[in-house]
Chains A and B, each alone.
Chain A
Amino acid sequence: MLEFLTDLHQFRFLQYALLAGIMASVACGIIGSYVTVRRITYIAGAIAHCTLGGMGAARYLQQQYGLPFLTPLFGATIAALVAALIISFLQEHSSLRQDTVLSAVWSVGMGIGILFISRTSGYNEDLMSYLFGDILMVSGHDLFLIGLLDLTLLLLVALFYNRLLAISFDAEFARISGIAVDRCNTIFLCLVALTVVLLVQVVGIILVVALLALPAAAAGRLTTRLPAMMLVSTFFCLLATSGGLVLSYHPDLPAGPTIILLAAALYALVGIYSKIRSIYHESQLKRPLVSLDEPGNIK
């Protein structure tokens, strides 16, 4: 811990890592809450795996043709957005099973990525850092892009909050009440895609889903309204990313898995806490609460 703090003063890469974690947590808390209440972590999973295609292609082109702006992060962003658009287009305009579509996006993206990476030198290191994240490798340029994604996301959620809530709760009613549900869904999936890209930088492709789902699920057990859930979830994400970074630093463990295990531990703790709380509450009530609001109950 102390070593981490002294090194934090000294090393830029550590500051970048911490900042990247903090910024990703904001996106993760907000979008993770939507993803959790809509129960679509598997869509996030498909998008996450698809980003490998973009990262591999970008890395390959960068190395082969010397295009410095084609960073893996840039490639991942494009791939994630394309995946989101494909998924939402097929949801609206085809009767294909969603399951099939997601499996295809998931594995085709990965396949493309691995093909490109196999043609690029430094195969193994790249692949491992994409799959399991390498938060210590975040560059200043990456950080700038992460910040930009974060701001875009916050702005869009602020504008579309009411509609997103309405379509998440009851899409059919939302359609009747005049919301362009399909368009909102497309925007929403793009938001998920941007968030996934941010989180891939922190914990890697394979672990993204856990970081999206676990802090939000834990927050959901402690809150009753979506904004509160988002706030608490952001806080849990922060705890997990910063805590994971600190814990993994001294023993030189990979940061991504440490972050995920910390998130899982938080989720378990909150689960146990809310279970105990509900048992306690039940023991407080001698009999089930009768609502006095229904006049039929007062006789």
Chain B
Amino acid sequence: MAGQDPMPEHTHPHGADDQARVVIEMEHVSFAYNAVPVLEDVNLKVVEREFIGIIGPNGGGKTTLLRLILGLLQPGTGRILVFGRPPARAASMLGYVPQHMQFDRDFPVSVLDVVLMSLAGRAGLGPYRRRHLRAAEEALDTVELLHYRDRPFAGLSGGQRQRVLIARALAADPRMLLFDEPTANVDTSAGEKLYQILARLNRKMTILVVSHDIGFVHQYITSVVCVNRRVRIHPTSALDGRNITELYGEDMSLIRHDHRCSREGHTCLNS
């Protein structure tokens, strides 16, 4: 983490500068689960060190989009390149922080154990070497939890657990972070803290965040990707957070649709 990245001349992710490095390229990508189309004709280009907020209704395909980029799913049609390679071969450069993982409260691991897991594949057989431990501790330091290294993972709060999972992704020294609903099950202040950490990491790496929480996201992101079977990308450099809603009213109404389906919404409709 201490290494100095050589800075290319055009590093500002906001500009539509052609010379900025393209890190994700999707062309005419479609995906269906059992013949039910989830994503259709997705064209997406993400440039190095962007901070992308992926929003859209539940079931709109946000997580599917993320899983395609991670190489966990194969597109039905179309082409995906991540760092210029097929996703499965770019996996070592991606750090994934899953959506509120269904993790077992009784699972006997320490915080450091969890962070080290991202290195298990590349560490070879037998115990971890000192350099792996160092990488894991550095990653924990980045999320400001180094003093928790020997604590049981199960004893942490939701926000701390999320930070440990970020550290787990960071320990493998990725060039891009993909984040599924980081603020689900996390209280407001812990969510704020998470985004501060992400904003700092964004100086070094590209970040994609799937979130319902557009209010949280807006102050950090460079582009919004709206996913509802189709995908649209909106650069936000020209706007400030307040008028995202006005400018993307159509998409935002899709998000509101969620709320309308909430229980209060139904009671409203019924009354």
Q: Is the CB of B96 within 8 A of A173?
A: yes
Chain A positions 164 through 208: 1 when the CB is less than 8 Å from some CB of chain B, otherwise 0: 011011101111111100000000000000000000000000000
Secondary structure of the A contact surface, majority rule: helix
Given A177-B172, A293-B148, A165 contacting B121 (CB threshold 8 A): no
A232 to B257, CA, bound (A): 53
Query: Does chain B have a CB within 8 A of A3?
Result: no
Check: B168 CB closer than 8 A to any chain A CB: yes
Task: Given A158-B126, A291-B160, check contact A174 B120 (CB 8 Å).
Answer: yes
B109 within 8 A of A: yes
User: 1/0 per residue A128-168: CB within 8 Å of B?
Assistant: 00000000000000000000000000000011111101101
Query: In the complex, how many angstroms separate the beta carbon of A76 from the nearest chain B beta carbon?
Result: 28
With an 8 A cutoff between CB atoms, is B252 at the interface?
Answer: no
The one of A161, A169, A176 in contact with B96, judged by C-beta atoms closer than 8 angstroms, is: A176
What sequence of 0s and 1s flags, for each residue 85-108 of chain B, a beta carbon within 8 Å of any chain A beta carbon?
A: 000000110101010010110111
Q: Interface digits, B160-182 against A, CB 8 Å rule (1 contact, 0 not)?
A: 10000000100010000000000
Nearest-neighbour CB distance to chain A for B101, whole angstroms, equals 6
0/1 per residue, A283-296, Cβ < 8 Å to B? 00000000101111
Chain A CB within 8 A of B142 CB: no
Residues of B within 8 A of A32 (CB): none
- The B-contacting residues of A in range 62-100, CB under 8 angstroms, are none
Are B189 and A296 in touch, CB under 8 angstroms?
yes
B127 lies within 8 A of chain A by Cβ: yes
Give 1 or 0 for each of B121-162: 1 = CB within 8 Å of chain A CB: 111011110000000000000001100100010100101100
A161 to B190, CA, bound (A): 33
What CA separation (Å) do A220 and B152 show in the bound complex? 12
Q: B residues engaging A (CB < 8 A)?
A: 70-72, 91-92, 94, 96, 98, 101, 103-104, 106-110, 113-114, 116-123, 125-128, 144-145, 148, 152, 154, 157, 159-160, 168, 172, 187-190, 192-193
Rank and list the top 3 A-B pairs by shortest CB-CB distance, nearest first. Answer: A296-B189, A178-B121, A179-B121
